[in-house]
Amino acid sequence: MPGIVIVGAQWGDEGKGKATDWLGDRVDFCVRYSGGNNAGHTVVVGGETFTLHLLPSGILNPGCRCVIGNGVVIDPGVLYEELDGLAARGVHVEHPLVSAAAHIITPYHQTIDKVTERFLGKRRIGTTGRGIGPAYSDKVNRVGVRVQDLLDADLLAAKVAASLENKNQLLVKVFNRRPIEAGPIVEALLAYGERLRPHVVDAARVLNGALDAGEVVLFEGAQAHHLDVDHGTYPYVTSSNPTAGGACTGTGVGPTRIDRVVGIVKAYTTRVGEGPFPTELTDADGATLRARGNEYGATTGRPRRCGWFDPLVVRQAAMVNAFTDIFLTKLDVLTGFERIPVCVGYDVPGLGRVGEWPLTEAQVEAATPVYEDIPGWTEDISGARTFDELPDACRAYVLRLEALCGTRISGVGVGPGREQTIIRHDLL
C-alpha cells in the first residue's frame, strides 16, 4: 500500500487542503511534515468551510489518524485554538499525534519575527509574523525548544533562559525594545505540555509501523515548491522544505517508502507576499481572477497576486519533486474568459527566448512571459463529475496544460466542495 506525498507546485494556495481532504477518507494516516501556522488549508465539507493552519486536512475524515511530524514548528496556542474551534462548531475530531522532536514556536519567536520584518523596510520578505522563521533559525542554531522539552520543567526553563539571553540583547540594543521575561513563557508552555503529553509519540516509529502493516499514509506539505528554502525563489521563501524530500526528513520515513508524489496545481497562478512572479497580472483580468477565486490568504487575509498559468513554474516543481500525478484545482474560476493566455516561455534579457525555469534570481525577475491563447468557455462546470461532462473547450484547456506540464492530470477540481472533483486516474 502506498505512501503518498501532496506537494504544492506553485507558490502555495493551490488547494492542497481540498486534495488532501478528498483522499483522506481512503487513507489511514494524514501527516503534516513541514511549515507552521503560516500555512492555511481551506476545506469545504457539506457546505461548511473549515480553515486549518496546523491540523492536517485529513482531520475532518473519521477514521483517518492525523500526525504532526518533526519537520513542523508548532504554536501550541494555535493548535488548541483550532481543536477547540472545531469542537465549538460541533465537529469532534481525534487529537493528532505529535512528534516529540517537533519544535515549538514561542512568543519570543513571534516578537523577533515582527520587529525584524519592520526593520527590513523595503527589503522585507513578506512573512506572516507568526514566528516561523525565528523558530526554524533556533532549530538550526541548536537552541530550539522541542515538544518533548515541554514535558520536563527544569529542562524547559533552562532552554528558554538560554535562548532569551541572546535575544534580549538583540531586542534591547538593536531594536530598542524591552527584554522578554522567561517565567511567564515557561509557565504557559508547561501548561500546553500537560495537555499534549498523552499525544506525544515517536512519529517515525508510528508511521513506519503503519506502512509495515500495509496502511496508507498521506504526507501533506504546507506552502509549495517555489517557497522551499532550498529550491524556491530565495530569499522570498518559507523557512522549511515543503518539497517531497521534506516528507522524509520531516517525518522519519525513508524515500523508498514513497510511492506517489502528487503536485497540486491551480488552473492559473497566484502568490502571496514579495518575490518574482513572471505571469502576474495587474490589470482587470488579475482583479477578476482574484474576485472569482476569492484569492485572499487563508492565514493573513492578504490579497493574493494573480496571473495566468505558467507551466515553466510547474515543470520545475515536477522535476525536483518527481511528480507522478497532478491534481488541477479551481478550473471553474476560468469560466467566462473568452480566451485564456497560457505562458509557453520567457524572454530573458541576454538569453533570449527560454522554455525552462531560469538559472538565477535576476533572470527570473527580468523574465517577460510569452503567451499562447487558448479558447475559453462560458458553460457552468461546477456540476461536472466526469471529464466528458466538461465543455469541449474546457477539456482542451486541461489537455493542453497536461502536455505543457509533462505530467498526467489525474484529478480536476471544479468547485470548492469535496464532491466537486473529477477523477481521471485514481491515485489509490
- Residues annotated as catalytic are 13, 41
The CA-to-CA distance between both ends of the chain, in Å, stands at: 8
In the numeric block, which cell numbers belong to residue 86?
472545531
Q: How many angstroms separate the CA atoms of 117 and 336, rounded?
A: 40
Neighbour tally for 209: CB within 10 Å: 11
Q: How many angstroms separate the CA atoms of 330 and 306, rounded?
A: 13
The CA-atom distances, in angstroms, between 231 and each of 36, 89, 240, 345 are: 18, 39, 10, 20
260 closest CA partner among 191, 322, 196, 174: 322
Q: How many angstroms separate the CA atoms of 365 and 408, rounded?
A: 29
13 closest CA partner among 271, 345, 374: 271
Instruction: Look at strands 48-52 and 41-45 and give their pairing.
Output: antiparallel
The CA-atom distances, in angstroms, between 210 and each of 26, 29, 69 are: 14, 8, 14
Task: Assess contact for 36 and 72: CB atoms under 8 A.
Answer: yes
